[in-house]
Structure 1
Amino acid sequence: MSDRVLPQKNEEYGSKEYWDQRYNLESEEQSFDWFKSYADVADLLREIVPVKSSRILMLGCGNSTLSQDMYEDGFKNIVNTDYSRVLIEKMRHKHAYAPEMEWHEMDIRDLKFETDTFDVAIDKGTMDAMMTAKADVWDPPEEVVQNCNREVDEVLRVLKKGGVFIYLTFGQPHFRKRYLERPETTLEIRKIGEAFHYYLYIVRT
């Protein structure tokens, strides 16, 4: 990754302005995956989402190849969202060969979809970007708590009964469970990796 697309401060990862600048149409960066390619988690995702016609919401898609890889694996019904307009236009153009996929400029804390419209929602590190404010990780700022809870509340609203929210992150359970646990849902946590662990949080409605 070019140094010129890296933020000067980690908290810029939570800024829309940073992402618009990074995803500028003239940027040299074609794609970037924060961690774990689709190949690394494909077997798990196929197990969790056995029906390939499922309607899938990709939260904060960025320029990751995850949607493209899932599409090529047979998951055609993917709706991608990101709050960078620059990025969405770029990705819509790049994936013109895949007309079934949708691309929407949208804030994951305020989804513009009807209630009960998706079978699956996937967050691959997007919530993490909202947690980059300088603070004690054991006692995050109220803004971070509100933002993360708003995302989860919105995701659960747009999921159908029996739907599943999949969140892939490096964040350990004692830092993430507080946002994901709800009385009306079940939470499963799977640890991935050997020397350095990632976590797959599976929230079922």
Structure 2
Amino acid sequence: MAQQPTASTDLGVLPGKNAEYESREYWDRRYAQEPDSAFDWFKTYADLKPLLAERIGSKDARILMLGCGNSTLSSDMYQDGYEDIVNVDYSAVVIEQMRRRYGHQGRMTWEVMDVRALALGDGSVDVAIDKGTLDALMCDGGDVWEPSAELCENVGREVSEVERVLAPGGRFIWVTFGQPHFRRRHLERASWTVEVERLNSGGFDYFAYIATKRG
């Protein structure tokens, strides 16, 4: 039986400034110092299971996990029957750790990839899930009411890549703490419709943005 990772309840190696959350070097350093740990931003699979069951539908769906990090989400989903999962992260350090940790879950793949330049074919996935990755791209310290052009371009590159790789009828599920008046603007595309679900958690609200690509 594979060794289970140690769940981390703190934030590990904190960056000197929030903008470092966008940096590959920061994440490589952090993961190297936490080789046997797991950390889930915002929500666990137990929290998200009803939402994902409704929005993914078939457990045969091909799922793309964007910025997988050392989260247990993919493994927990795999154990629940969602086996066709492509996990991507631009940190080679964490991808190697996750390959070793979850190699027994053989249908999943772990690939070093930038979510802003996905090496995947057009229309090749049914569902894309982002849990905190887009939020990391927004940590540049800018004005949340009037985000900088650089921030919008950076975030827009990921969203456009997701739009490209989703099959018709496919869904992009983004879990975030960001409220709709700050976040929804970044998802607007002519090719899909966007819904928002509020996820209450002990008095603190999270949100799930679901973009469904038109057929």
TM-score (normalised: structure 2):
0.92
* Aligned partner of 2:119 among 109, 112, 121: 112
Residue matched to 2:6: none
State the secondary structure of the residue aligned to 1:114. Answer: coil
Structure 2: how far apart are the matches of 1:3 and 1:160?
A: 35
Matches within 5 A, 1:75-86: 75-86=82-93
What RMSD over aligned residues (CA atoms) do the two structures have, in Å?
1.3
Structure 2: how far apart are the matches of 1:169 and 1:32?
A: 15
Give 1:27 deviation, angstroms.
Answer: 2.5
Q: 1:173 to 1:30 in 2, by over 3 A?
A: same
1:68 aligns with 2:75: yes
Unpaired runs of 5+ residues, structure 2, are 1-8
Unpaired runs of 5+ residues, structure 1, are none
Q: 1:203 to 1:4 in 2, by over 3 A?
A: closer
Give 1:123 deviation, angstroms.
Answer: 0.2
Q: 1:47 to 1:18 in 2, by over 3 A?
A: same
Say how many residue pairs are matched.
Answer: 204
* Aligned partner of 2:39 among 25, 28, 32: 32
Q: Which moved more, 1:160-169 or 1:190-199?
A: 190-199
Q: 1:134 to 1:68 in 2, by over 3 A?
A: same
Residue matched to 1:7: 15
TM-score (normalised: structure 1):
0.96
State the secondary structure of the residue aligned to 2:98. Answer: helix
1:58 aligns with 2:58: no
1:149 aligns with 2:144: no
After superposing on structure 2, the runs of 4+ consecutive aligned residues of structure 1 that deviate more than 4 Å are: 1-4
Give 1:41 deviation, angstroms.
Answer: 1.1
Give 1:40 deviation, angstroms.
Answer: 0.7
Give 1:52 deviation, angstroms.
Answer: 0.1
Give 1:28 deviation, angstroms.
Answer: 5.3
- CA deviation string 1:10-56 (max 9, x = no partner): 111111110000111x5255100111111011011001111001000
Identity %: 53
Give 1:179 deviation, angstroms.
Answer: 1.0
Residue matched to 1:20: 28
- CA deviation string 1:121-152 (max 9, x = no partner): 00001000001102111111221100111101
Structure 2: how far apart are the matches of 1:112 and 1:193?
A: 35
Structure 2: how far apart are the matches of 1:165 and 1:37?
A: 18
- One-letter code of the match for 1:121? A
Give 1:156 deviation, angstroms.
Answer: 0.8
Structure 1: how far apart are the matches of 2:174 and 2:146?
A: 21
Residue matched to 1:122: 129
State the secondary structure of the residue aligned to 1:136. Answer: coil
Structure 2: how far apart are the matches of 1:77 and 1:97?
A: 14
Structure 2: how far apart are the matches of 1:186 and 1:198?
A: 20
- One-letter code of the match for 2:20? E
Structure 2: how far apart are the matches of 1:74 and 1:49?
A: 12
